């Protein structure tokens, strides 16, 4: 995240639950297929999509509420519908770098799954729809997948100091992947984990 300014006064923002945009917003990040190239199973599809213009997979908006004594942050993520090969659009997925940092995710639009997995392989895939709120405990990697036909939007609440660690997910992914099969979302074993 960008340089942060200390503000000890209350801050209120207004969220558009259709788009995930909120105002005021301090930072916006776009992630395209090339930013997730190691995350998708179908590497041929990844190469083809990048060569054809590199489609958008999701947008993130952040507001770090930095006071002189605290560092809560708000993030919203909007994942438009789409696939890479048979795999649905999804976030990269990460652990928090600090081992004492949980997070709350609140789905405000769309449908899909929240995958969570601890470092020693305790795996959960929670079906998600508007109104679902999940507490992600410390040291559970987390990834959201949009299996629906509309944009999936969720709100995240976390501490800036939690940090992001992407390496283990880049190296092994989650236990299962979620793909479209005969028009339906199905969970199948991650081929990278069965080697
Ligand atoms: C931060 C929080 C979210 C994600 C965002 C994108 O801890 O979990 O704001 O950063 O949903 O996901 P990713 O895996 O690309 O960081
Ligand atoms: Zn997180």
> Is residue 184 scored above 70 in pLDDT?
yes
pLDDT at 195: 58
| Model confidence, pTM | 0.97
pLDDT of residue 174: 98
Reported as a single tens digit per residue, the pLDDT across 102-127 is 999 999 999 999 999 999 999 999 99
Average per-residue pLDDT in the chain?
96
Pocket test for ligand 1, best of 60, 136, 153 (most atoms within 8 A of CB): 60
Give the total residue count for the chain: 195
| Structural contact between residues 103 and 162, judged by C-beta atoms closer than 8 angstroms | yes
Residue 194 has pLDDT above 80, yes or no: no
For residue 51, the surrounding DSSP H or E stretch is helix 43-51
Nearest CA to ligand 1 atom 8: 156
pLDDT tens-digit profile of 120-179? 999 999 999 999 999 999 999 999 999 999 999 999 999 999 999 999 999 999 999 999
Residue 6 lies in a domain: no
Whether residue 90 lies inside any domain: the answer is: yes
Q: What does the pLDDT read at residue 2? A: 64
Cβ of 40: how many Cβ atoms within 10 Å? 22
pLDDT tops 80 at residue 1: no
* Residue 96, domain CATH: 2.60.120.10
Which pLDDT score is estimated for 4?
Answer: 80
Q: Which residue's structure tokens are 């795999």?
A: 87
What is the rounded CA–CA span in Å between residue 119 and residue 30? 27
Atom of ligand 1 nearest to the CA of 76: 9
Q: Which residue has the tokens 């079906």?
A: 127
Judge residue 116's burial from the number of C-beta atoms within 10 Å of its C-beta, 0-12 exposed, 13-18 middle, 19 or more buried: buried
Ligand 1 atom closest to Cα of 92? Answer: 14
What is the pLDDT averaged over residues 76-95? 98
Q: How far apart are CA 72 and CA 58, in angstroms?
A: 22
In a domain, 7, yes or no: no
Question: Do 58 and 22 meet the contact criterion of CB atoms below 8 Å apart?
Answer: no
In terms of residue numbers, what domain contains 45?
15-194
Classify residue 185: in a domain, yes or no: yes
8 Å CB contact between 180 and 45: no
157's tokens: 């609440």
Is 8 domain-assigned?
no
Could you report the per-residue pLDDT of 5-39, keeping only the tens digit for each? 999 999 999 999 999 999 999 999 999 999 999 99
């Amino acid at each position: 995240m960008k340089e942060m300014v200390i503000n000890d006064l209350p801050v209120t923002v207004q969220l558009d639950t259709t788009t995930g945009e909120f105002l005021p917003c301090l930072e916006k990040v776009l992630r395209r297929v090339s930013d997730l190239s190691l995350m998708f199973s179908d590497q041929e599809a990844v190469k083809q999509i990048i060569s054809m213009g590199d489609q958008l997979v999701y947008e993130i908006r952040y507001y770090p509420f930095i006071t002189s004594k605290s560092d809560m942050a708000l993030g919203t993520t909007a994942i438009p519908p789409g696939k890479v090969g048979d795999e649905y659009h999804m976030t990269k997925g990460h652990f928090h770098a600090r081992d004492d940092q949980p997070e709350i995710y609140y789905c405000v639009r769309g449908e899909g799954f929240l995958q969570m997995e601890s470092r020693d392989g305790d795996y959960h895939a929670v079906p998600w729809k508007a109104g679902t709120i999940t507490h992600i405990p410390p040291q559970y990697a987390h990834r959201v997948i949009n299996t629906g036909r509309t944009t999936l939007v969720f709100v995240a609440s976390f501490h800036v100091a939690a940090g992001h660690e992407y390496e283990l997910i880049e190296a092994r992914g989650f236990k299962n992947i979620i793909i479209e099969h005969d028009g339906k979302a199905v969970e199948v074993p991650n081929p990278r984990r069965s080697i």
